[in-house]
Amino acid sequence: MIEEFEDSESSASGFDVNKFLFRALSYWKFFLLLLAVGVFYVYQQNIREEFSYRLGTKISVEDDSNPLFTSNASLTFNWGGVTSKVQTMIVTLKSRTHHEKVVDRLEFYKSYLKQGRFRMQDVYKSAPFRFNHDYNAPQLLNIPVKITFLNAESYELEVEFLNPVARVQNYITKEISTVSVPVGVYKKQFKLGETIDLPFLKGVINLAENRNAIIGTPFFIQFINFDSAVASYRGRLDVGSSLNSPILDITLIDKNTQKIVDYLNGVIAVLSEDQLSRKNQFATNAISFIDEQISRVKGELTDNVEALNDYRKKNKIYSLDNEGGLLNDKLTKLEGEKESIDRQLNYYSNLKNYLLTSSSFTEIPAPSVAGIGDGNILSNVSKINELSVQKSKLQYSVRSDASIFNDLNRQIEGLKNVLLENISSVTDGLKRELVTVNSKLDSIESQFSKLPEDQQQLLTIKRQYSLSQQTYNAFLAKRGEAQMIKASNVSDILIIDPAKNTGAQLLGRNLNIRYVFAFFTALIIPLLLAFVFTFIDKNINSPMDVEKLSAIPMLGVVGKNRLDNNLVVHRKPKSAVAEAFRAIRSNLQYFYKSQDLNGARTLMVTSSVSGEGKTFCSINVATVFALSGKKTILLGLDLRKPKIFGDFGINNDTGVVNYIIGQATLESVIQKTEIEHLDVITSGPIPPNPSELLMSEKLGELITILKKEYEYIILDTPPVGLVADALGLIDYVDASLYVIRQDYTKKGMLNFINEKYKTKQIKNISLIYNGYDQKAKYGYGYGYGYGYGYGYGNYANGYHDDGKHKKGLWHKLKKVFKKA
């Protein structure tokens, strides 16, 4: 039967919105408590908030061409126009390599700290000293080193080590290692300017410029991992630009505005230097190439001078006749043309081989170095060099499989093919010119062979000397051009608005919004609890629930009993509970009259399970009849757990059980009470076979006899949800009362009695709603102790010997929330 109740609970599992709202409103104290805790927490967070700032700088990416460049002298290139440069600069500014240079230059892996109210604060240049660390010595990582000035000339260094090993880093090699350190607090005194030479720290502390020692105030030095510092600044730097605009907005977020200024200016300085260095790279390559050629030609020139002087002294010939002089001039001119053609052919040959074998084209010497002035060659070499530089730069910050590399490779490959075609075409033309020059040289040399032998030898030596001198002078001129161009180059980075410690944008969130979140959190938690409790609550919480769940008429509603026993009608006859029982009495009398019942009237009181107030209702219904002058008797037929004797202060030594089994007479089991006209027959000792006794004919005889002596007979029976004993007594009674208790009776428990009523197995039954409390929090405030309960889940063991329903974890949690 118990399983029948439990299985049927799902049939009444609807969500009651009204119940949810009333339950939520009943948690107003809990809401106020949560709100107070939330406001206090938010306040503590707000006063500890450390704000960040944003500062920015503006630069313009220009296309500054050197005014000294000519089509023949240009030793550097236009790097694809402003748009391409802007994208290159953005990628460069976001690259790890670029930030490594800036962090290294500014030493932003080293911090100067001071203890604030809630945390360490970065005081940066506000610290009165500077620690000039040894760059090639390991420095302590992530552990603050405390510096306290003892006087104007000395200070105390203090470090607390929690482990015997500490991590250190060399900021030149960037290598991280470990050193052994003493566990505990390490202290040592030094003088300003004295070298600190410790295994974990090495350097010198000096006072900052125009600063005095602050005696007694502790400051801290802390080194962090170099890569971590780079990643931190790289992540907080933002670069923005408008479409097709050469203007870049560079911003940085940090908690120290002076650090933002220095870092932004450092970013721009490093960018400008790197850009100018790349811009001069072509001229630098050309100068290096020219220097190699000058060194070679200079040796040849020296040898030719010595040979010429030696021949003149030996043969005493110091000048040529007119004919020899003319031939020498012609030969010199033609050999100069031939050397120029050979130099160009050699350059084109090397360039072709370079294009076919190399994957990077950033080291191509300037075409003008070889005397090449072809516009197509100059332009295409410039473009392929620019694309190669751009690709090389992107490799530091862009994934190798990015689409931009595919695009650059296609452009480079296209330019390479065009250059190879240009080289082939120009080379064919130069070879034709070389044939012409060689033909002219053969003609002049035939005339030269007719001169005297001594003049021929002198002419040959002089011509070689003149040719070497011309080549040497040409290379010197080219070197001068290259140096002039390099010296006159300017960076394409124009600083429009340098970073300055003014107008910093405060980035702190609106802290007041946290109070709004605290309010809604405090509101949502009670609402959520109310929803969960309402959803899982299967109890009957109001008379309206009973009306929805059962067609059985409700005879009365009884309030909560707040006395220490069940005699509420007798002790508090003017109370609302007593009035409720009087109303029940009137309704019963009307029922009996409508049924044309004469003589004694019998009434059975039962319930679904223990704890619903069945005995309480039995006692007080019997009491109101007795107080009205009707001779009434109350029978305790709950043989398994008798209780009614305790409230009247009588004993349970003999009772119904003794009478049924023939151990006592009727007169001996009837006991008087302090209430006039009310007698009681208790159940007596607990028998081994209570069901058989209640079904015996002896009980029917007892009730028949009592009808002759009393006007009202009230039967306090076992709960029908636990045993079937009460159902067997229906034949003896004129009416039945089924007790339901607020916040205790499960909705599914009514299904059993509803089915009996629907099939007309039970007639003349009415419901009593017990424990009604209009102000009760749904789910709490039962108003009864569990002392009346059987604990229906344990009925198989008889009843609980202690008479108390065991309170589980769920009930304890609910009591905690109730107190809150």
Q: How much is the pLDDT for 396?
A: 52
Position 63 scores a pLDDT of 63
pLDDT computed for residue 508 by the predictor: 63
DSSP for residue 370: G
Q: Which of 380, 101, 401, 62 is nearest to 247 (CA)?
A: 62
Give the burial string for 92-113 (b: 16+ CB within 10 Å, else e): bbbbeebbbbbbbebbbbbbbb
Using a 10 angstrom Cβ sphere, with 0-12 exposed, 13-18 middle and 19 or more buried, the burial of residue 734 is: middle
Instruction: Please give the share of the chain, as a percent, with pLDDT higher than 70.
Output: 75
d(CA 820, CA 818): 5
Q: What pLDDT, on the 0 to 100 scale, is given for residue 272?
A: 86
Please give the structure tokens belonging to residue 684. Answer: 């007596």
Tokens of 491: 């960076």
Cα dihedral 339, 343, 346, 347, rounded to 10, equals -170
> Are 519 and 37 contacting, i.e. CB atoms less than 8 angstroms apart?
no
| Residues 281, 287, 293, 295, CA torsion sign | negative
Beta bridge partners of 131: 205
- Span 232-250, mean pLDDT? 86
Q: What is the mean pLDDT of the chain?
A: 79
Q: Mean pLDDT across the stretch 79-88?
A: 60
> What is residue 630's predicted lDDT score, i.e. its pLDDT?
92
Q: Is the pLDDT of residue 597 over 50?
A: yes
Task: Kindly report, residue by residue over 292-349, the tens digit of the pLDDT.
Answer: 777 777 776 676 666 656 665 565 444 544 545 566 667 677 777 777 888 788 878 8
pTM of structure: 0.51
Token pair belonging to 74: 């240009």
Could you give the percent of the chain with pLDDT greater than 90?
29
Q: What does the block give as tokens for 769?
A: 């709603």
Q: How high is the pLDDT of residue 783?
A: 35
DSSP label at residue 797: G
Residues 638-696: tens digit of each pLDDT: 888 888 888 888 888 889 899 988 888 989 999 999 999 999 999 889 888 888 888 88
pLDDT of residue 141: 94
Please answer whether residues 119 and 51 qualify as being in contact, where contact means their C-beta atoms are separated by less than 8 angstroms: no
Strand residue runs (E) in 461-588 = 493-497, 505-506, 554-559
Q: Please, what's the largest Cα pairwise distance for the chain?
A: 180
Which range of 610-619, 776-785, 788-797 scores highest in mean pLDDT? It is 610-619
The more confident residue out of 783 and 231 is 231
Q: Which of 135-139, 200-204, 428-432 has the lowest mean pLDDT?
A: 428-432
Position 403 pLDDT exceeds 70: no
Which three-class secondary structure state does DSSP give residue 477? helix
223 C-beta neighbours (distance < 10 Å), count? 26
Q: Which of 149, 167, 165 is nearest to 157 (CA)?
A: 149
Poorest-pLDDT segment among 13-17, 174-178, 263-267, 640-644: 13-17
Quick one: average pLDDT of 365-383?
68
Q: Of the given ranges (107-121, 392-406, 655-669), which has the lowest mean pLDDT?
A: 392-406
b/e per residue 497-506 (b: at least 16 CB within 10 A): eebeeeebee
CB–CB of 786/633 below 8 Å? Answer: no
Give burial (CB, 10 Å; 0-12/13-18/19+) of 694: buried
Pairing mode, if any, of strands 154-161 and 165-169? Answer: unpaired
pLDDT bin (cut points 50, 70, 90) of residue 156 is very high
Asked if pLDDT for residue 144 goes beyond 90, the answer is: yes
Per-residue model confidence (pLDDT) at position 793: 32
Rounded to the nearest 5°, which phi and psi values hold at 299?
-65, -40
Which tens digits make up the pLDDT trace of 500-533?
888 777 776 667 888 899 999 999 999 999 888 8
* Predicted local distance difference test score (pLDDT) of residue 479: 72
For the purposes of burial, counting CB atoms within 10 Å of the CB of 808, is it exposed (0-12), middle (13-18) or buried (19 or more)? exposed
Return d(Cα 144, Cα 159) in angstroms, integer: 7
Q: Which residue has the higher pLDDT, 489 or 678?
A: 678
Per-residue confidence band for 478, with pLDDT thresholds at 50, 70 and 90: confident
Per-residue 3-state assignment (H helix, E strand, C coil) for 750-792: HHHHHHHHHCCCCCCEEEEEEEECCCCCCCCCCCCCHHHCCCH
Q: Are strands 120-122 and 505-506 parallel, antiparallel or unpaired?
A: unpaired
532 burial via Cβ count (<10 Å: 0-12, 13-18, 19+): exposed
